[in-house]
Amino acid sequence: MTTSVSKATSAVRASIESDTQHGAVVPPMHLSSNYTFAGFGEPRQYDYTRSGNPTRDALGDALTELEGGAGAIVTASGMGALTVLTQFLCPGDTIIAPHDCYGGTYRLFEQQSQKGLFNVEFVNQTELDTLRNVCREVQPKIILTESPSNPVLRISDLAGIREIASECGALFAVDNTFLSPALQNPIEFGADLVIHSTTKYINGHSDVVGGAIIAATEELAEQCAYWANVIGITGAPFDSFMTLRGIRTLHPRIRQHEENAALVARVLSEQDSVAKVHYPGLDDHPGHELARKQQRGFGGMVSFEIEGGEAAVRAFLANLRLFSLAESLGGVESLVCHPASMTHAPVSEERKAAAGVTPTLIRLSVGLEAAEDLVADLLAGLEAAATAPRLEVVAI
């Protein structure tokens, strides 16, 4: 794909007409686990699918182009991509992660640090002075940022963190899962590595688990590819084929996700039974102006805090019809999650409180259903929550 077309066009045309054998419009799927050598001592481009696969490489090429990187490694999950990131660390090295990061990220770093594989510091990265002071003290090898963060949607200054990373000689990695390359390209702001759970918006249909790490330089891409092969967490060909199919509709899906989410956030902010709404598209969000500068949109995720305590949370969730109570996000269907008991269950109560993951926080992945139906469903849930003490609800 030439660089003269938009990234939306690149996404739609990813690997289209690449089949030289039969001229198939959609690229074939290569399920073979191994490939023949041309002869003794004459390996071909591919020999074993853990090491390399044409279908997986097609997805990697698409992600590389969309993120503006030098190479991408497709992994079996988003956590697999984070595991590749940790291979840059040795015992005694430190990684700095967001204090309000995804619960799975917290668990991975916390457990591996307890085994002595590396050290971890969880820092509020929206406070650049705090981050700079911590970096001066611990001299991290890696700074990992989530922006927007999961689940409170805080916005971090990517260019500012890049400057701090350069000062201390750290690699700068950004988890871009919440926005996808359609709405944000961290490499443009100096990121060395970009992490994705491709399970989410990139695939977009809640039927594939996958991940990716995109490198800004060929050298970093080669190191990531080496470690992904060594530890055996590269993605499967079928999953790659499905994710590549999902990429082709990424941009129109994201536009509709965002349009629906913006309406949902506005309506929620007007309800007396809602204590606070976290959505960067709202003018009163602390990171609104920064998000406008470094993002091309505000995304499809909305979090909010409900009045009334646990009883209200239970009643609200029990009375929704169009938001499925489930983990994950980014699919065409709307999902609702209670982070404290679901995605962030592995996180200590102390850290959850510091991160703003309160017992009354609710996270929405706003889907592609008709916006008016989603709003009506949420208002019905809130109405039920308002009378929660008198309701007999199903426990979550």
Q: Per-domain residue ranges for the chain?
A: 7-247, 250-388
What confidence tens digit (pLDDT) does each residue in 58-106 have? 999 999 999 999 999 999 999 999 999 999 999 999 999 999 999 999 9
Q: Given this chain, do its domains 7-247 and 250-388 carry the same CATH topology?
A: no
Mean pLDDT of 368-376: 98
* Residues carrying an active site annotation: 50, 102, 175, 200
Is residue 394 over pLDDT 70?
Answer: no
pLDDT at 22: 85
Mean pLDDT of 279-285: 98
Is residue 396 over pLDDT 60?
Answer: no
Q: Is the pTM of this model over 0.75?
A: yes
Percent above pLDDT 70 for the chain: 97
**48-52, 111-115, 321-325, 390-394 — which is least confidently predicted?**
390-394
pLDDT at 3: 57
Mean pLDDT rounded to a whole number for the chain:
95
Three-state helix/strand/coil letters over the chain = CCCCCCHHHHHHCCCCCCCCCCCCCCCCCCCCCECCCCECCECCCCCECCCCCHHHHHHHHHHHHHHCCCEEEEECCHHHHHHHHHCCCCCCCEEEEECCCCHHHHHHHHHHHHCCCCEEEEECCCCHHHHHHHHHHHCCCEEEEECCCCCCCCCCCHHHHHHHHHHHCCEEEEECCCCCCCCCCHHHHCCCEEEECCCCCCCCCCCCCCEEEEECCHHHHHHHHHHHHHHCCECCHHHHHHHHHHHCCHHHHHHHHHHHHHHHHHHHHCCCCEEEEECCCCCCCCCHHHHHHHCCCCCCEEEEEECCHHHHHHHHHHCCCCCEECCCCCCCCCEEECHHHCCCCCCCHHHHHHHCCCCCEEEEECCCCCHHHHHHHHHHHHHHHHCHHHCCCCCC
What confidence tens digit (pLDDT) does each residue in 181-210 have? 999 999 999 999 999 999 999 999 999 999
Is residue 24 very low, low, confident or very high in pLDDT (cuts 50, 70, 90)?
Answer: confident
Is residue 19 over pLDDT 70?
Answer: yes
Is residue 395 very low, low, confident or very high in pLDDT (cuts 50, 70, 90)?
Answer: very low
Topology adopted by domain 250-388:
Aspartate Aminotransferase, domain 1 (3.90.1150)
pLDDT at 107: 95
Cα angle value 298/303/309 (rounded, 5°): 165
Is residue 363 over pLDDT 60?
Answer: yes
Is residue 2 over pLDDT 90?
Answer: no
Is residue 254 over pLDDT 60?
Answer: yes
What is the Cα–Cα distance from 371 to 261, expressed in whole angstroms?
Answer: 8
Is residue 365 over pLDDT 50?
Answer: yes
Is residue 392 over pLDDT 50?
Answer: no
CA dihedral 58, 61, 65, 71 (to 10 degrees): 160
What confidence tens digit (pLDDT) does each residue in 340-351 have? 999 999 888 998
Q: What's the CATH number for 7-247? A: 3.40.640.10
pLDDT at 393: 43
Half-sphere exposure (Cβ direction) of 360: Cα atoms closer than 13 Å: 15
pLDDT at 21: 86
Mean pLDDT of 172-176: 98
Mean pLDDT of 38-42: 94
